[in-house]
Amino acid sequence: MEKEEVKEEEEEEKEEKEEEKEEEEEEKKEEEVEEKEEEEKKKEKEVVEEEEVSV
């Protein structure tokens, strides 16, 4: 009986760790997307500034 309980607990811990890992990966992806958006905004701003200078 106790062995089964221990095994169950280990399984639960393993699942929790996997979920945490997945959440971290999701956060990482979101951060990357945000960084890309920031880069895009910077590029757009630079282009706008260049256009203003050329006019």
CA of 24: how far to CAs of 4, 6, 9, 40, in Å?
30, 27, 22, 24
pLDDT of 23 reads 98
* pLDDT 10s digits, 10-54: 999 999 999 999 999 999 999 999 999 999 999 999 999 988 888
What pTM was estimated for this model as a whole? Answer: 0.59
Q: Where are the domains of the chain?
A: 1-55
Q: Render the burial of 14-48: b for 16+ CB within 10 Å, e for the rest.
A: eeeeeeeeeeeeeeeeeeeeeeeeeeeeeeeeeee
Give dist(CA 20, CA 13) in Å, integer.
10
